[in-house]
Amino acid sequence: MNTFLLLIFPLAGFLIAALFSAFSKKGLVVGKTFAFLGFSAIVLVAIMAKSEIGSIIYGPMMFGWQLQFGLTAISWYFALMISGISWLTVVFSLGALREGGTYPMYYAWLFAKNLGMLGVILSQDILAFFIMWEFMSWTTYFLLQQGTKKARSTAMGYLIYAIIASMILFAGIIFLHQASGSFGFSEIASTVAGFDMRTLILAAVLLLAPMLIESAAYPLHRWMAPAYSSAETGITAFLSAISTRIGLYGVAIFLFTVLGFTAMKKLSAGHYFNLQVVIMTIGAFTMVVPTFTALFQHDAKKLMAWHSVGQGGYMLVGLATATSLGVAGGLFHIFTYLTYVTLILFCIAAVEYRTGTTNLNSLGGLIKKQPIAYVGLLFGIIGLAGIPPMNGFVSKWLIYRSLILGGHPFLALAAFIGTLGTILSVYKLIHNIFLGQLPERYNDVKEVGFFMQLPIWILMLVVLGTGVFPGLILGWVAKIQVSLGVEPLAVTLSGVQASAGQLNMNVVSSVFGATMLVAFIIFLIGGRRRIVGQYNNYAAGHFLDKTVKYNFNYNFYSAYEHIFGKRFLNPPVKRGEEGLVALVERASDFARRIYTGGLNTYLAYSLGAVILMVVILKGAI
C-alpha cells in the first residue's frame, strides 16, 4: 500500500500545487504550508514503506505489458534519500523563498521531480523505468529553467543532453525488448546469458550510456555545472544532492541486476580491457578533471557544482569495482555526499540570502556575522574533503582500499588527486566567504532565520553522527549488496571489520576528542588571551589603515595559473561539444538550402524524382 502512496502523493501534490499557483500569485503562506505537509507525508510514507520491500504493485497496461512497480533494498535506500532531501529543501525554502520570482511553480515542479525520481527507483521493468526517466528529465528541465534568464539558457543545455540520453535509452529498450522478448528486469536478466557478444555490447552501451550522461560522467559532464549553478540555490542543493545520483541508481541496477556478473565478465577482451575497466577509467577522469576545474571557479555555486561532477566519479568507480568493499564504498558515498553537499549549499544559500551574491572575490570575513552558517560550512567541507571524523572519510576509505587491494594503483592515485584538489578548493570556498576581513557593505548582515537554520543543524548532526557511527547506514548498505548479488561487507556499528584491515571510527573519533582535550589543556596553560578585531594586524612595518581592506581572495591558487594556464578553462571536451553543435548547424544550413525557392529547380526535383524512382525500381527487382 505504501509503495502505491509513494507515487500518488507526489502526483497529487504536483497537480494541486500547479493548479494553486496557476490561479493565485499571492497565497505564499498557504502554498508553503501545503508543500511542507505534502513533503512530510511523502517522507513518512517512504519510511513506512520498508515493510513492503519485495512486493510488486501493477501499473497500467501498455503495449501488452503490465507496468510493475515495487520496492527493493536499493530503491528503499534511494527513496529515503530522495524524500529526506526534498523535505529539507522545502523546510529551507520556507525561509528562503520570497514573494514572486520563481515562487509560483517552485513547489509544483518539486513535487513533479519527486514523482519522477521515486517512479524511476520504484519501477521494476525497463518500460516503467523509461517512462518515469523521461518524466524525471523533463521535470528537471522545468525546475531548472525557473530562475534567472541565464538559468533558462543553461537549462536548455541540460535539456539537449537529457533528450539525447532519453533517446539512447529508448533505443536500448526497443533493442532489449526485441532481443529478450519482455520488459521485466528479471526476465531480461535470465535471457542475458544467452546473448552473443555483439548484442551484449550493444545492450550494455545503450543502457549504460544514458546513465553516464545523467550522472555527468567525464566526457558527458559539460551540462551539469552551468545548469546547476545558475538555478535558484535551494534547487541547486536539491539537484546536486540526489538528482544526478539517479543515474548511478540506473548504473547499479543495469550492471548488477539486469546485465549481471556473468555478462560483465564476458564483456572483456583480454585481462585489461573490460567493461569494468572502461567504467573505472571514465570514473577516474570524472574524479580528477572537474576537481581541477573547480579550483579555477570564482562563484561558490559553480565551484560546488563542479564538485558534484567530481564526486560522482568516486561513486562510479566504487560501483564499477564490483568488489564488496568498492560497491559498499560507492553506495555509502552516495549517502555521505548527499548529506554534506546539501549542508554546504544551504550555508552558501544562507550567505546569498543575506549578502545577495555568491561571488567569491567580493565576500570575506562573514564569520563574525554568520557564525552558524560558518560552522555548518566547516562541517560540510570537512565531510567533502573526507577528513575524519566526518562521514565522507569512511566512504572514501572504503573506495581507496578496494582500489589499492583490487590492483588499480593509478586509479587510487586519481582518487587521491581528486581528494587533494577538493581540499584545496573547499578551503578557498570557506576562506573567501567567511575568513579574512569583512567588507563594509556587509556590516549589517545578520544570521538567517529559524527555518533556514533547522536543515543546517540537522545535516550537521547527520554528517557527524554517521561519521562516528557509520554502521547506522553501512548496515543497510550491506543488505543492498546482498540484494545486488555482491558479497556483503562485514560491518559493525563503529566501522568496518574487513579482512585485510579494520576501520573503527569510534576509536578514531574518541582519540581525536582526547587529543583535543589535551590541546585545550595546553592552551589553558598559556596566559590570558586578548581578543582583537579583524583590522588589528601585523603588517611587517607596512602602515595599515582601516579604510583599505586586504583580502587575498582573487586568484587564490596562482601557482596553478602558471602550471595549467588556460587548459582547464577551455578543455578539449568543450571544444568537442562546440564542434558537434557547429556540425549540426552546418548540416541544417545544407538541408535548408535544398529549398532554393526557384520554381524551375522545384520542377526539376519532381522530374528527377520520377526518373530516380524508375531506376531504383528497375534496380530493385
Partner 1 sequence: MTVPQILYVSAFLLILIGLYSLLTQRNMIRMIIGLNIADLGVNLFLVTIGFVDNGSAPIFRAQAAAGPMVDPVPQALVLTSIVIGFGVTALALTLVMRLFVTHGSIDTARIRGLKW
Partner 2 sequence: MNSVIGLVVWIVFYPLIAFTVGVFLGGYGRKFTARVQRRVGPSWIQPFFDVIKLMRKRTNISHGYMHDISLMMLVSGTMLSLYFIPVPGFHYFSQFGDFVVIIYLLLIPSLGMALGVGETANPNGSIGISRALQMLFGYEVPFVLTFIGMAMLNGTTSMYELVQIQQSGGIATWGIVTHPLLGIAALFALQGMMNEKPFEVIIAPHEIATGPMTEMGGKYMGMMFIQHLINLFVELTIYANLFLGGAKNWFELLFKLFVLFTLILSVNSVFGRFRTDDAMRFMWKIPLPLAAIGVVGIMLGIG
Partner 3 sequence: MVSPILFIVVPLAAAFLTVLVNRNAGARILALLTGFALSALAWFWFRADLSTPVSVVIAGIAPPMGIQLSMDRLSAALALLISVSGFLVILYSQSYLKSEEAQSKHYAVLLLLMAASFGILLTRDLFNLFVFYEILCISSYILVASEETKASFEASLKYLLLGSVGSLFMLVAIGLAYRVSGSLAMSDIAQALGEADLSYVMLTAALFVLGMGIEAAIFPVNTWLPDAHSTAPSSISAVLSGFVIELALIVLLRISMTVFSSVNLMLPLRYMALAGILIGELAAFGQTELKRTLAYSSMGQVGLMLFALTLGTEAGRQAGMAHLVMHTGAKSILFLIAGYFIVRTGKRDIKSYSGLGRRMPLTGVFFVIGALSLVGVPPLFGFFTKFKILSAAAVSGATGAWLGIAVILLGTVLEASYLFRVVRTLYSDPETGNTRAVKGRMEMDVPALIAVFGFTLLVIFGSFLLPLIPSGLAL
d(CA 339, CA 92): 14
358 vs 303: CA distance, rounded Å: 10
* Binding region for partner 1 (CB under 8 A) out of 47-55, 515-523, 576-584, 601-609: 601-609
Stretch binding partner 2 (CB under 8 A), from 60-68, 182-190, 316-324, 423-431: 423-431
> Mask 558-597, x = binds partner 1 (CB under 8 A)?
----------------------------------xx-xxx
Helix, strand or coil for residue 72? coil
DSSP 400-417: HHHHHHTT-HHHHHHHHH
Q: Which residue has the cell 569583512?
A: 438
Query: Residues 426 to 465: which contact partner 2 by CB under 8 A?
Result: 427, 430-431, 434-437
Site for partner 2 in 521-540 (CB under 8 A): 522-523, 525-532, 534-540
**Stretch of residues binding partner 3 (CB under 8 A), selected from 95-103, 264-272, 390-398, 599-607:** 599-607
Q: 71 with 26: CB under 8 angstroms?
A: no
Rounded to the nearest whole angstrom, what is the least distance from the CB of residue 463 to partner 2 in the complex? 15
Binders of partner 3 among residues 6 to 45 (CB under 8 A) are 22
- C-beta closer to partner 3: residue 148 or 534: 148
Cβ-based neighbour number of residue 521 at 10 Å: 9
Please give the residues from 498 up to 527 whose contact with partner 3 meets the rule CB under 8 A. Answer: none
Residue 460 cell numbers, joined = 550537521
524 in contact with partner 1 (CB under 8 A) = no
By the 8 A CB rule, do 116 and 132 touch? Answer: yes
Minimal distance, residue 360 CB to partner 2, in Å: 13
Residues of this chain, 109-168, that bind partner 2 according to CB under 8 A:
none
CB 320 within 8 A of CB 279: yes
- Which amino acid type is present at position 218? Y
Amino acid identity of residue 440, one-letter, is: E
Can you tell me the distance from the alpha carbon of 480 to that of 163, in angstroms, rounded to the nearest whole number? 30
The DSSP secondary-structure symbol of 50 reads: G
**DSSP label at 258?**
I
CA separation for the pair 154, 222 (Å, rounded)? 10
Is residue 610 near partner 3 by the rule CB under 8 A?
A: yes
d(CA 474, CA 451): 30
- 178 belongs to the binding site for partner 3 (CB under 8 A): yes
CA 552 to mean position of chain CA atoms: 31
Nearest distance, CB of residue 12 and partner 3, angstroms? 16
Contact with partner 1 (CB under 8 A) among 99, 598, 616, 620: 598
Q: Which of 525, 599, 617, 620 binds partner 1 (CB under 8 A)?
A: 599
Binding mask 403-422 for partner 2 (x = CB under 8 A): -xx-x-xx-xx--xx--xx-
Q: How many residues are given for the chain?
A: 621
587 makes contact with partner 3 (CB under 8 A): yes
Distance, CA of 555 to CA of 534 (rounded, Å): 22
612 is a contact residue toward partner 3 (CB under 8 A):
yes
Q: Interface residues with partner 3 (CB under 8 A)?
A: 22, 62-63, 130-131, 134-135, 138, 141, 145, 149, 152-153, 155-156, 159-160, 163-164, 167-168, 170-171, 174-175, 177-178, 584-585, 587-592, 594-595, 597, 599, 601-603, 605-610, 612-614, 616-618, 620-621
Q: Interface residues with partner 1 (CB under 8 A)?
A: 592-593, 595-600, 603-604, 607
